[in-house]
Structure 1
Amino acid sequence: MLSSAPADPSLIDSRQAAWRLLVTLGLVVLGNSSMYVVAVVLPTVQAEFGIGRAEAAMPYTLMMVCLGLGGIWTGRLADRHGLMPVLWVGALAVCGGFVWAGLSGSIWAFGLAHGLLGFIGSSSTFAPLLADTALWWNRRRGIAVAVCASGNYIAGAIWPPIVQHGIETLGWRHTYMLLGLVCGLGVFALSLRMRQRPPLVSGAPASAGAPVFDRSRPFGLRPSHAQFLLCVAGVACCVAMAMPQVHIVAYCSDLGFGAARGAQMLSLMLACGIASRLVFGLICDRIGGIRTLLLGSALQGLALLLFLPFDGLVSLYLISALFGLFQGGIVPTYAIIVREHFAPQDAGSRVGTVIMATLLGMALGGWMSGWVFDMTGSYDAAFVNGIGWNLLNLAVVTWLFLRVRGLEGQPRGQGPLGAGLREVR
């Protein structure tokens, strides 16, 4: 039986919340596998279908666009009907998408299969789960959301080497179909543990002593304006983020190091991203979401700069690890910002919208980097392009941070920026 009533608020920060978080982590690991294995098969698919690098990156782009759009839809469905029925549909899409991709006879069929994987499969196991997790935790909200989001990078650390081994032994088609069965059945089994609706929550802050802002005027702006700026920031940071994540395997192949080395670097990057998300979650609990996002944006830009002068094998391993450590905590921080500044009853749809923007950025960045490579014959210009988008993100986040500083600096109830600001007792 589905539970239509919210859980008792006393379950927030409870042992039940912790068990739910563990199940959520497994769902994210299984449901988001397609986000990273497509980068591993990119060189093989390009060779089999006889296409260019930009065309080979198209399935990833389509998947991420659909994942972003699907996040809004699945977030709204989860707000209305709960998570379990959304996850059931997602399990079918994960299984069907991988099998369809494995049977595809053209790059367009392969791309449409990844669109299904993104729009229903992965979307049901990311943004709605981030929003749900934020509603089950108050005191440790930052680290809880970070643990949930880490499943995305655990998937990135686990699946690429497994899929690379499968490509070498079974072929990419059989590997895809087997992965679909494993992940689809796994999502369905774990979804049975997600019947309970989240508790009704108040506007409690993430940590004691932190200010609570007027939820009707996030950052002192209209909610639609504030969300638009967060979406712009999300697109910009993830265009930059996509360059190494999507193209590191192809980049290593071009440098003569081989696809297997690139898959190892991708796994290392995403494994370090797991640690990054946990650390950034702890930082969020201490300094808040917007400050954490500003820190992550600055560090990601630094890591991208390091790719330009260094392209040796050892240096690429080190920079991949640094990139993972610096950028891993960025995306889940958006969910924390939404929870801190917007009304909690809209958490699913608003988190879904902002996560959609980040995924559109990943989609645009994955395609754009391939297009720049095709135009120039080198990835140097693609890295420069990523750095430029990262600067745009840094500018938007800095402006929002200054708005927060203005809110904190205003006495309670004085001035347009001080309206709604109160002290936590």
Structure 2
Amino acid sequence: MDTLATDTRYSWTRLVLTLLVGTVINAGMWAIIVIMPAVEAEFGGSRAMASLPYTLTMIGFAIGNYAIGRAVDRFGITLTLTVAAIATAAGYALATLSSSLLMLSLVQLLVGFASAAGFGPLIADISHWFVRRRGIAVAIAASGNYLSGAIWPILLANVLQESGWRSVYLVMAIVTVVLVPPLALTLRRRVSEETQAAAETASVLNAKSSGLSPRALQYLLGLAGIGCCVAMSMPQVHIVALCVGLGFGPAVGAQMLALMLLGGVASRIVSGLLADRLGGVRTLLVGSFLQCLALFLYLPAGGMVSLYLVSMVFGLSQGGIVPSYALIVREYMPAKEAGARVGFVMMATILGMALGGWMSGWIYDVSGSYTLAFVNGIIWNGGNIAIMLWLLSRSRPRTPKGIPA
């Protein structure tokens, strides 16, 4: 395997650069959560209506993962990232001109679509550069998404408080267009045909062991992804609004979100190390069980301290789930289609986040509290667990001779 360009010093350097890109451009997914209370106060409407910009952001993010993933397969990561960064910055700028909740929601569709370049497409790209340590590499690359959500809200908190949400968006527009294109230029190198062929051999063997076609497995993973992310969205999307409703204020909610996401980063790193030993399916199951347990813990929590603690537990529980889907795709599906296949499954998980974000707001409007929204998440989480247990019972990933495990 020494002749193949995987798990080399360059691979790790590329991983660091990938993480930096993801930390910047993924802010498009999280910014709307932080400004949601300010947007609700400015434009009015119900909690479900105030969640609409986030829902359209996530729909755009979902579609972008698949569409941009296909573009990466065809045009490479550098050109795709550059165009996406410019489009993301343009979306931020246009959002500042919004005069209604509907207008902001439509612009957020663009922000979500373009910023998706920093998630599934980047994960698929880095997965080509690792075999022995693919689990930890994918986990680190995916952590850019959580680091973005943990870092930027804190860095921009003063801007939000003193100048309003429009100034926050203008700052992010400048940061994105200044930093991402130069970093994208450092990722121009592509894997060799020999590396691609070796990965193809491994995925063919694993696909045969599952007894499912790539398309059938892709749809099954998409369904599982919707289930786990409807559950995941309740704390991540509504923790700020929950804290405002309890009288703790948006700053406390933002801190809980940051704590949750930093815990998610730690969870992703540990899950990546675990995945290199257990494989994607088993690692996903571990994360899904832990996430379900954490959702149960939210039910009795109502004080500030208890919510801080449970938010940390939730972050530490669920961070490795979404990267595990990308690992399963790379274990069982053709390497040359990694961008599109990973993008499709990421799209499904994000649609689950979008659906769950809206659904939780609607349940709050109907019931007057978030208790039933947490119960709803637990039920969806159970569906994800059932699907992955069924898949595990059917297949055992294998490695061909000559390819290190």
TM-score bracket for the superposition, by shorter chain length: over 0.9
- Secondary structure at the aligned position of 1:103 is classed as coil
Q: CA deviation at 1:214?
A: 2.4
Q: Which residue of 2 aligns with 1:413?
A: none
One-letter code of the match for 2:44?
Answer: G
Q: CA deviation at 1:180?
A: 1.2
Q: CA deviation at 1:198?
A: 2.6
Q: Which residue of 2 aligns with 1:98?
A: 92
- Secondary structure at the aligned position of 1:214 is classed as helix
* Contact 1:265–1:320 (Cα < 8 Å) also in 2: yes
1:218 to 1:241, Cα distance in 2 relative to 1, 3 A: farther
- Secondary structure at the aligned position of 2:192 is classed as coil
- Secondary structure at the aligned position of 1:197 is classed as coil
One-letter code of the match for 1:234?
Answer: G
* Contact 1:292–1:333 (Cα < 8 Å) also in 2: yes
Matched, 1:345 2:339: no
One-letter code of the match for 1:28?
Answer: G
One-letter code of the match for 1:368?
Answer: M
Matched, 1:134 2:127: yes
1:275 to 1:82, Cα distance in 2 relative to 1, 3 A: same
Separation in 2 of the partners of 1:373 and 1:100? 30
Q: Which residue of 2 aligns with 1:417?
A: none
Q: Which residue of 2 aligns with 1:385?
A: 376
Matched, 1:149 2:142: yes
* Residue identity (%): 50
Q: Which residue of 1 aligns with 2:108?
A: 114
- Secondary structure at the aligned position of 2:55 is classed as helix
Matched, 1:55 2:46: no
Q: Which residue of 1 aligns with 2:303?
A: 312
Separation in 2 of the partners of 1:218 and 1:156? 38
One-letter code of the match for 1:293?
Answer: L
Q: CA deviation at 1:9?
A: 5.6
Separation in 2 of the partners of 1:422 and 1:139? 13
Q: Deviations over 1:91-139 (max 9, x none)?
A: 111111111112211111111221101112x121211110111100011
Q: Which moved more, 1:337-346 or 1:193-202?
A: 193-202
Q: CA deviation at 1:163?
A: 3.0
- 1:27-66 equivalences under 5 Å are 27-66=21-60
Q: CA deviation at 1:363?
A: 0.5
Q: Which residue of 2 aligns with 1:292?
A: 283
Q: CA deviation at 1:218?
A: 6.2
Q: CA deviation at 1:142?
A: 0.5
Separation in 1 of the partners of 2:59 and 2:205? 32
Separation in 2 of the partners of 1:278 and 1:364? 27
Q: CA deviation at 1:84?
A: 1.1
1:213 to 1:86, Cα distance in 2 relative to 1, 3 A: closer
- Secondary structure at the aligned position of 1:136 is classed as coil
Q: Which moved more, 1:375-384 or 1:214-223?
A: 214-223
Q: Deviations over 1:396-425 (max 9, x none)?
A: 111111112xx47xxxxxxxxxxx986677
Matched, 1:371 2:352: no
Q: Which residue of 2 aligns with 1:5?
A: none
Q: CA deviation at 1:204?
A: 5.9
- 1:67-216 equivalences under 5 Å are 67-120=61-114, 122-200=115-193, 201=195, 214-216=205-207
Separation in 2 of the partners of 1:304 and 1:245? 11
Separation in 2 of the partners of 1:102 and 1:73? 26
Q: Which residue of 2 aligns with 1:415?
A: none
Q: CA deviation at 1:235?
A: 0.6
Q: Deviations over 1:238-261 (max 9, x none)?
A: 010000000000001111111110
Separation in 2 of the partners of 1:60 and 1:185? 25
One-letter code of the match for 2:141?
Answer: C
- Secondary structure at the aligned position of 2:205 is classed as coil
One-letter code of the match for 2:151?
Answer: I
Matched, 1:238 2:238: no
Question: Runs of 5+ in structure 1 lacking a partner?
Answer: 1-7, 206-210, 409-419
Matched, 1:323 2:317: no
* Contact 2:17–2:183 (Cα < 8 Å) also in 1: yes
Q: CA deviation at 1:216?
A: 4.7
* Contact 1:79–1:348 (Cα < 8 Å) also in 2: yes
1:9 to 1:93, Cα distance in 2 relative to 1, 3 A: farther
1:256 to 1:106, Cα distance in 2 relative to 1, 3 A: same
* Contact 1:64–1:363 (Cα < 8 Å) also in 2: yes
Matched, 1:394 2:385: yes
Separation in 2 of the partners of 1:204 and 1:303? 40
Q: Which residue of 1 aligns with 2:258?
A: 267
Matched, 1:220 2:196: no
TM (normalized to structure 1)?
0.90
Q: Which residue of 2 aligns with 1:356?
A: 347
The count of aligned residue pairs is 399
Q: CA deviation at 1:376?
A: 0.9
Alignment RMSD (CA, Å):
1.8
* Contact 1:9–1:199 (Cα < 8 Å) also in 2: no
Q: Which residue of 2 aligns with 1:414?
A: none
One-letter code of the match for 1:308?
Answer: L
Q: Which residue of 2 aligns with 1:412?
A: none
1:362 to 1:349, Cα distance in 2 relative to 1, 3 A: same
